[in-house]
Amino acid sequence: MGIPLVDLKSEYLELREEVLAAIDDALQSMQLFLGPNVQALESEWGQFCGVEHAIGVGNGTEALHLSLRAMGVGAGDEVITVAWTFFASIEAIIHAGATPVLVDIEPDYFCMDPTALEAAISDRTRAVMPVHIYGHPADMDAIKGVCEPRGIKILEDVAQAHGAKYKGRAAGSIGDAGVFSFYMSKNLSAYGEGGMVTTNDDEIAADVRMLRDHGQRQRGTFECVGYNSRLDELQAAIVRIKLRRLAENNEKRRQHAALYDQLLQHDEIITPKVASDCEHVFHLYTLRSRRRDEIAAALQAADIGFATHYADPPHKSPACAAYGLDKANLPVTEALADEIISLPMYPGLTESQIEQVAETVLSALN
């Protein structure tokens, strides 16, 4: 492809020698069960996020599921989240035995609408899961203002927002717990699967550690029926290498976004907005346009990668229809589904590539 949506191979070639050496070291040691790289990454990620505990797990979906379980969420409970997200956010609630309740997003930043959240609270609401979508934090003060007086837990879905900040605080450090995915396309990624739970709550941390290892706190004593969801030692070694470059790479993403903003001034385009008290990390750079399909056709013809997250919002999927979620009243979510398109975004993008993408987008509208 001329310009891919994400260029994973160029990143690997840049890191190849360091990655292969780290993998070889891990295999030479053969300490592969929650080994030194997992333990070091947990410490380093906790420091990066400014939290007491970081617990490595198998992937981001399991991080959501185990966190909900550790919060005591189960049958009879409701968990409120949004449909402007990947299916895993909803899936984890169902796996925990709870009922997902979907609320709409606000149109500027595509995050949970706190007013809609407050209207959806019921006596069964046990937890709320705001999603920091595309790398922009949700309005956490407003969400906490709804939840804390009622004793409702907050689980931040930070799968797309590694390093994002809300009023100077790291996403994933503000609610009762935060969850991260190290899926290969994330701002901080493995070359496979991996996830992390962050929290300042000692009990949540202890229960996630127990649940990830078959329900054991002490070896051979199974306190509950848990899961096999330990972070892999080789993936942890890779993520540690990339973590050292995360802040620099997030800054490159912001610079790329600023250039896109400058070049894509057009009456039929809405470029991403950033709240004044937030630090966006642009996991995705996503436009709004009523002529989205024309833009997509032009990009495809020019061999430029793009995506439409989430042209098919998950509440409209057959799996969610089985739970009645397709009937949720989500006018902003459904309007966005017809208008959004994500352009190439990764640290290694060049200025000339961004200019080419922008020219192609504008050519579809002129």
Domains of the chain (ranges; CATH) run: 8-102+110-243 (3.40.640.10), 246-363 (3.90.1150.10)
Share of the chain above pLDDT 90, in %: 99
pLDDT of 1? 74
pLDDT tens sequence across 105-158: 999 999 999 999 999 999 999 999 999 999 999 999 999 999 999 999 999 999
pLDDT of 128? 98
Separation CA 66–CA 61 (nearest Å)? 9
Separation CA 181–CA 197 (nearest Å)? 9
Amino acid at 266: H
pLDDT tens sequence across 191-203: 999 999 999 999 9
Number of C-alpha atoms within 13 angstroms, CB side, residue 147? 25
pLDDT of 366? 87
- C-alpha of 261 from chain center: 23
188's enclosing H/E stretch is: none
Both tokens of 65, joined, read: 């599921």
Separation CA 244–CA 232 (nearest Å)? 19
Separation CA 82–CA 174 (nearest Å)? 18
pLDDT of 228? 97
Q: In terms of DSSP bridges, do strands 216-218 and 125-128 run parallel, antiparallel, or are they unpaired?
A: unpaired
Both tokens of 77, joined, read: 């409970």
Separation CA 157–CA 343 (nearest Å)? 23
Confidence of residue 329 (pLDDT cuts 50, 70, 90): very high
pLDDT tens sequence across 225-278: 999 999 999 999 999 999 999 999 999 999 999 999 999 999 999 999 999 999
Separation CA 105–CA 81 (nearest Å)? 10
Residue 358: strand, helix, or coil:
helix
Average pLDDT over residues 75-104: 97
Quote the mean pLDDT of the chain. 97
**Largest Cα–Cα distance in the chain?**
68
Task: Give the Cβ contact number of residue 359 at 10 Å.
Answer: 12
CA dihedral (66, 72, 76, 80) positive or negative? negative
- C-alpha of 3 from chain center: 24
pLDDT tens sequence across 278-292: 999 999 999 999 999
φ/ψ of residue 3, rounded to 5: -135, 110
Confidence of residue 312 (pLDDT cuts 50, 70, 90): very high
Average pLDDT over residues 50-59: 98
Both tokens of 211, joined, read: 């649940």
